[in-house]
Chain A
Amino acid sequence: MSTLTDTRASTSGARRRRSPFAQAAVRTPYYVFTGGLAILFLFPLVWTSVASVSPRAGTAQASGYGFANYVTLANYQAGIWVYLFNSTFVSLLTVLLTLIVTTLGGYAFARFRFPGKDLLFMGTLAILMVPYATLLIPLYVLLNRVGLQNSLVGVALVLTMFQLPFSTFMMRISFEAVPRELDEAALVDGCSSFSLLWRVLLPAVKPGLITVGLFAFLAAWNDFMAPLILINDSNRMTLPLAVSNLRVQVQGVVDYGATEAGVVILALPCTILFLLLQRHYVRGFMSGALKG
């Protein structure tokens, strides 16, 4: 992850020059210590992946290595495909809605002046200040009133709202980083403000879009509390809820094998996206840190 620039490496390297032997004596404990830490952080994920295909009494994979635990998971209640579909649907809808709302919003905040602008921006950021649970209970009642109880669309709407503070902020600074000369040139050429946004600015803020989309996906895919409260119908559960429920089988016996398989399926897309888009992931946190 060479994503964080550093200016300090060269200076401290040049300062301490020791003999190769002394260097090794200093370096070895350092590598042992940091390597141990890395193992500590990676162990739970690696162990779970291995254990999910390993033999264990009392699970579907009683002997030998194989994917029997995944078969149990696949056949749980409505079937894992239903839950995978539900989770994917909620996640993609949340990503789509977040991108649309915050691209338009970020453009408005960065390029226009209108009454109530600062109030709306502050109101958007204020979502961060309010506890999740404080909002979910009235949202449960409100969604019931508009016929979105037990609805995956309702969950996606709620998750989009929770993404707004970070994403609107991110898109606003992305648009503000684009030089205005670009707008002016396009407008002189007779672009409307929408085609300016669509054809000229959108390509320029692509990294911001990727970061916003990535965060929205991870948040929606992993969210537990919103579907826990808003969804009652077991056919509309998302994957985290399904895996959490399948732990406890009849008579309180826990199927650890199927739980491990569920954790692996849950973690897989997150891990892949993280490794592929790591620099966008890091940038999201950094901009948040810089602006608080």
Chain B
Amino acid sequence: MTTAPSAIARAGRSAPGQKSAARQKRSWKGPLYALPNLVFVVGLFVLPLLLVLQMSASKWPLLSGNKGWNFPQNYVRAVTHRLFADSVVFTLKYTVLATVLLIGIGLGLGLLVQESSRWKGFLRTSFLLPSALGLASASLLFYVLYSPIAGPFADVMQRLGISFLGTPTTALVSTTFLIVWRYAGFYMLLMLVGLQGIPVDVFESARVDGASRGQVFRYITLPLLRPTLALTTVMCVTGSLLAFEQFYILTKGGPDNSTITVVQLIYLVAFQGQNDLGVAGALSVITLLALVLINVLQLRAFNTGRDE
């Protein structure tokens, strides 16, 4: 598919078509074609979003439904939940760890397989294959792999006295390893796209000027890769802050509730035990606001960096 990147680049340039707007038709058929899209967006996105706002301000047990407004009680109960502070701290810790590793390793793999050759094609396929698996499937796979009974490292770990999921620290590291395995190829791909956007002659002239490999990386590759790094960081932070499956399946939040993420807490409050959709709604709204805030801050940080 030698033509695809350029085709996409071409399409991308003219994308939210302003320059071609003159040739777009005004017709009643336009809205008609967009109608299914509108129905989905309103019915399954806007409406639930409004409903979660209402839920977060209402007494709303799982089984008996809406019992009237009680703002701001749910929010107070959400932030004073005995696991709230722990889950926020743990989620942030996991996010930093996963983001640093995935961006670093994704970039490293991208640089490693940049040129095209048969061997590098094989490497790309190998790195990318885990990303086709579902996160739940991958978590189940590692659940067996990490098992002190059935895993391939069970004997070694027993002799060393280490358990993959037994202590808070090893559980965090083991889960992060699973995530790196599952997502590294995906980030490699995004880095490759960014790397290929850098004109070849920039590298050529730097080499002619006698720049070392390290200097080329530090002063040319990294700065020119900034938009890609910004995009991948925002994606990775968002994904990590919303982590659920990997911990739900691998650790069930254990040991001793040490690996409970914010989304797990929402699920716990809504469906396991407490059955309180009001408090779960309040937690959801808090998560949404925090996510928007964090993304705005990140984008701003990347933008001010660029102006220097």
Interface of A toward B, CB cutoff 8 Å: 1-9, 11-13, 15, 31, 34, 37-38, 40-42, 44-45, 47-48, 51, 56, 58, 100-102, 104-105, 107-114, 116-118, 120-121, 123-124, 126-127, 129-135, 137-139, 141-142, 157-158, 160-161, 164, 168, 172-174, 176-177, 180, 193, 197, 207, 218, 221-225, 229, 240, 243-244, 247, 254, 256-257, 259-260, 262-263, 266-267, 270-271, 273-275, 278-279, 281-283, 285-287, 289-292
CB <8 Å contact, A271 and B284: no
Bound together, the chains give a CA A124 to CA B194 distance in angstroms of 25
Contacts of A44 in B (CB 8 A): 130, 141-142, 145, 181
B100 within 8 A of A: no
Would A114 and B51 be within 8 Å (CB), given that A131-B242, A263-B141 are in contact?
no
CB <8 Å contact, B144 and A48: yes
Distance from B270 Cβ to chain A, minimum over Cβ atoms (Å): 5
Closest residue on chain A to residue B47 by CB atoms: A142
Instruction: Select which of A31, A38, A176 is within 8 A of B126 by beta carbon.
Output: A38
Closest residue on chain A to residue B9 by CB atoms: A290
Distance from B14 Cβ to chain A, minimum over Cβ atoms (Å): 6
B244 within 8 A of A: yes
Bound together, the chains give a CA A11 to CA B48 distance in angstroms of 54
Contacts of A127 in B (CB 8 A): 41, 45
Closest residue on chain A to residue B14 by CB atoms: A176
B159 within 8 A of A: no
- Interface size of B by CB at 8 A reads 111
Instruction: Select which of A100, A160, A177, A256 is within 8 A of B11 by beta carbon.
Output: A177
CB <8 Å contact, A180 and B287: no
CB <8 Å contact, B49 and A138: yes
Closest residue on chain A to residue B242 by CB atoms: A131
Instruction: Select which of A100, A174, A207, A267 is within 8 A of B137 by beta carbon.
Output: A267
Query: What are 13 A-B contacts defined by CB distance under 8 Å?
Result: A5-B196, A6-B196, A102-B37, A104-B36, A123-B41, A131-B242, A134-B285, A137-B280, A172-B15, A180-B20, A266-B137, A267-B133, A290-B8
CB <8 Å contact, A131 and B284: yes
CB <8 Å contact, B144 and A256: yes
Would A112 and B26 be within 8 Å (CB), given that A38-B122, A286-B189 are in contact?
yes
Closest residue on chain B to residue A187 by CB atoms: B25
B24 within 8 A of A: yes
Distance from A125 Cβ to chain B, minimum over Cβ atoms (Å): 10
Which residues of B, 1-26, contact A by the 8 Å Cβ criterion? 1-2, 4-5, 7-12, 14-17, 20-21, 23-26
Identify the 8 closest CB pairs spanning chains A and B, nearest first: A222-B134, A112-B30, A105-B37, A274-B132, A256-B150, A224-B136, A108-B33, A138-B48
Interface of B toward A, CB cutoff 8 Å: 1-2, 4-5, 7-12, 14-17, 20-21, 23-27, 29-38, 40-41, 44-49, 51-52, 55, 65, 109, 112, 114-117, 119, 121-130, 132-137, 140-145, 147, 149-150, 152, 181, 184-186, 189-190, 192-194, 196, 200, 203-204, 207, 228, 231, 242, 244-245, 249, 263, 266-267, 270-271, 277, 280-281, 284-285, 287-288, 291-292, 295
CB <8 Å contact, B291 and A131: yes
17 additional contacts, CB 8 Å, given A37-B112, A117-B30? Answer: A3-B4, A4-B124, A4-B192, A34-B123, A41-B130, A42-B129, A101-B40, A127-B41, A129-B295, A134-B287, A134-B288, A135-B49, A141-B51, A164-B40, A221-B134, A270-B137, A287-B11
CB <8 Å contact, B140 and A193: no
Bound together, the chains give a CA A138 to CA B58 distance in angstroms of 13
Contacts of A56 in B (CB 8 A): 150
Bound together, the chains give a CA A287 to CA B2 distance in angstroms of 14
Contacts of B204 in A (CB 8 A): 11
Contacts of B194 in A (CB 8 A): 289
Distance from B207 Cβ to chain A, minimum over Cβ atoms (Å): 8
CB <8 Å contact, B271 and A5: no
Instruction: Select which of A108, A161, A218, A283 is within 8 A of B4 by beta carbon.
Output: A283
Closest residue on chain B to residue A42 by CB atoms: B126
Contacts of A41 in B (CB 8 A): 126-127, 129-130, 181, 184-185
Bound together, the chains give a CA A254 to CA B5 distance in angstroms of 47
Contacts of A224 in B (CB 8 A): 134-136, 245, 249
CB <8 Å contact, A112 and B25: yes
Bound together, the chains give a CA A81 to CA B277 distance in angstroms of 34
CB <8 Å contact, A244 and B12: no
Contacts of B284 in A (CB 8 A): 131, 133-134, 137
CB <8 Å contact, B281 and A177: no
Bound together, the chains give a CA A124 to CA B16 distance in angstroms of 14
Bound together, the chains give a CA A270 to CA B203 distance in angstroms of 38
